[in-house]
């Protein structure tokens, strides 16, 4: 497949222009005019590039386009220059999609977490631009706190990292925000009558906020809550475009 067609297909699918983000969304490195084999991963890093070389891939798609965040120098020197040389010498183009891959209604991280937990999406929240990134979803029958934790431990390979139960005993309506979330997003979820909040990583002030405002919250790891979108994207590309695509999970415990 021609690279421009792949670029247009991804932009149409993920709609990056609708999100106010703090990184490049879309094509970051153009190292080949074709796309014949794809590797996806959470973060752009040396190990992922090595995996792409081993897989003979000519395209990488990541959620975290490290090196392309706003405020980072993109002068091709040091580690950034080394990484670019490795990509260019091996003919590997790179796409990055950050918030668009959190908020996609079908294959986004939060939609996929809701699906894996057996929850039905009912609302969106946490708008960043004209599109939201968070999902509010419900079970038909409320779960106890213990059942809620069991479901998370089953759905996340490494289970729950932190849990704070200061809210309702019964949990039916759940707010989901992969990656990380601060007090503003949690407050919005509380205002939308959510019984619990699921996220990746938290700031120091969040447990205090939960205690003082009666919130149930669990965190499952920033990286570990964001494997779902890039995994689903690889499957979608292979199914719909017929391009061999493989998700490579290089775990990060944070």
What residues does 124 pair with on adjacent strands? 135
120-177 confidence digits (pLDDT tens): 999 999 999 999 999 999 999 999 999 999 999 999 999 999 999 999 999 999 999 9
Residues 6+ apart with CB under 8 A from 113: 135, 155, 176, 178, 198, 225, 228
Distance, in Å, from the CA atom of 225 to the CA atom of 96, rounded to the nearest integer, reads: 17
Alpha helices in the chain (DSSP H): 3-14, 46-54, 78-89, 99-103, 109-116, 145-155, 183-191, 206-213, 227-241
CATH 1.10.645.10 holds for 102-224: no
Domains 3-97 and 102-224 share a fold: yes
Taking residue 26's Cβ as centre, other Cβ atoms within 10 Å add up to: 16
In this structure, are residues 150 and 160 in contact, taking their beta carbons and an 8 Å threshold? no
Q: What pLDDT score does 19 carry?
A: 98
Q: What pLDDT score does 85 carry?
A: 98
Q: What pLDDT score does 57 carry?
A: 98
Question: Is this model's pTM higher than 0.95 or not?
Answer: yes
What is the rounded average pLDDT of the residues 70-81? 95
- Grouping H, G, I as helix, E, B as strand and the rest as coil, residue 225 is helix
Domain ranges in the chain?
Answer: 3-97, 102-224
Gyration radius (Cα) of the chain, Å:
19
- Grouping H, G, I as helix, E, B as strand and the rest as coil, residue 116 is helix
At the topology level, CATH places domain 3-97 in 3.40.1390
Q: What pLDDT score does 122 carry?
A: 98
């Amino acid at each position: 497949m021609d690279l421009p067609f792949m670029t247009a297909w991804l932009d149409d699918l993920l709609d990056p222009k609708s999100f106010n983000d703090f990184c490049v969304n879309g094509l970051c490195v153009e190292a080949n005019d074709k796309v014949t084999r794809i590797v996806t991963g959470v973060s752009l890093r040396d190990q992922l590039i090595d995996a792409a070389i081993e897989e003979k891939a000519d395209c990488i798609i990541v959620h975290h386009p490290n090196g392309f965040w706003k405020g980072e120098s993109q002068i091709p020197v040091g580690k950034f220059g080394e990484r670019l040389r490795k990509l260019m010498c091996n003919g590997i183009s790179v796409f990055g999609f950050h918030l668009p891959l959190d908020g996609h209604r079908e294959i986004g991280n939060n939609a996929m977490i809701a699906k894996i937990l057996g929850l039905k999406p009912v609302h969106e929240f946490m708008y960043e631009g004209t599109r939201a990134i968070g999902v509010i979803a419900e079970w038909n029958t409320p779960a106890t706190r213990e059942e809620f934790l069991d479901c998370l431990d089953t759905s996340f390979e490494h289970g729950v990292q932190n849990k704070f139960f200061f809210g309702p005993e019964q949990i039916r309506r759940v707010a989901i925000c992969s990656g990380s979330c601060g007090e503003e997003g949690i407050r919005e979820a509380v205002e939308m009558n959510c019984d619990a909040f699921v996220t990746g990583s938290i700031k120091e002030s969040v447990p205090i906020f939960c205690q003082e405002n009666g919130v149930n919250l669990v965190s499952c790891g920033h990286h570990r809550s964001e494997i779902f979108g890039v995994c689903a994207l690889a499957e979608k590309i292979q199914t719909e475009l017929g391009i061999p695509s493989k998700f490579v999970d290089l775990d990060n415990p944070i």
